Amino acid sequence: MILRKPDFYDSFKCIASQCTDTCCIGWEIDVDKASQEAYRKVAGTFGDKLKANIEEGHFKLLPHDRCPFLTRENLCEIYTNLGEGALCDICREHPRFVEVYGDIMERGLGLCCEEATRLLLAGSGPLTFVSEECDEPEDELSEDDREICNEVLYEREYIFKTLADFDKPFGNRLYEAFGYTGDKPFAPLNDARGLYELLARTESFGPAWDEALARIKERVENAAGLQDEGYFSETESARLLAYLVYRHYAKCLFEGRAEGKRNFAVFFWNAARFFTRELAGVAVSEINGAAPDASIIKINAIKILSRQLEYSEENMELIESELEG
């Protein structure tokens, strides 16, 4: 089998306590059965704490949805007491994801993670991919299914190559890849209100999103002519669009909605660039008396949007269906 991964994948390393939005807060944390069995065998005071804080296959979260094993310094007690190998599957793998298409396995990093987003945006050129052999078993596909799979991956490759052709003006690449033109800046929707209203129809993950959505609504209602926030460079935009296509487009092999998945990349990009400050507002309050730099604003905007959309099957289905055309 061929393993494929984006150019920044192997550079990723969890930044632990340096993360401003740790994944150990605000998420339900599943504990796989193998880890539960291993934790039951841990002796002593820490073993007692492990046993007391697992309920129905989850860690029992503290107030504000904080993991019971997250210290005041935002370090993991399981890691510090038992080592990295003792982490349950979700804690060891997050924010990594994997998809298999026949004889191709693809790995990536979820953009709800600020370090993953930083690495994506930090690239100085087009998004590229690394391929290598791996020993994982491939999915058995019929001849017809393999032909369809190859067609979808070929179409996706065309989008990658188009976005990566930096010799062409960015607007030309957008048109060739997505049919996107500057005279309809909010496409695939008609205007900023349409962008907001589709976001508002998604199921909220919590107060942080509710507050961001309220800021977006206020801006849409008060801005006579909504302009691009101007935070994202053409290189960053091309890399973000390519990455969103990488993560979602080929899933049409299982879920359908090919056009909706392609349009989702443009929808996400437009939401991020038109509402950058509104999305990032909760996380970009002044730090040590100084406003955060643009990179922090961009990262936080993408991070909250990814969490709201990409980590909810219901929200992804809603948006892709709406954008299916």
- In order of 41, 54, 261, the CA distances from 31 in angstroms are 15, 8, 31
pLDDT tens track, the chain, 325 positions: 999 999 999 999 988 888 888 888 888 899 999 999 999 999 999 999 999 999 888 999 988 889 999 998 888 999 999 998 999 999 989 999 999 999 999 999 999 999 999 999 999 999 999 999 988 888 888 889 999 999 999 999 999 999 999 999 999 999 999 999 988 999 999 999 999 999 999 999 999 999 999 999 999 999 867 888 899 999 999 999 999 999 999 999 999 999 999 999 999 999 999 999 999 984 444 444 556 788 999 999 999 999 999 999 999 999 999 999 7
| Residue 103, both tokens | 């004889």
As a whole number of angstroms, the distance between CA 43 and CA 32 comes to 19
Per the CB < 8 A criterion, the answer to whether 211 and 281 are in contact is yes
pTM above threshold 0.85: yes
- 72 φ/ψ angles, rounded to the nearest 5 degrees: -60, -25
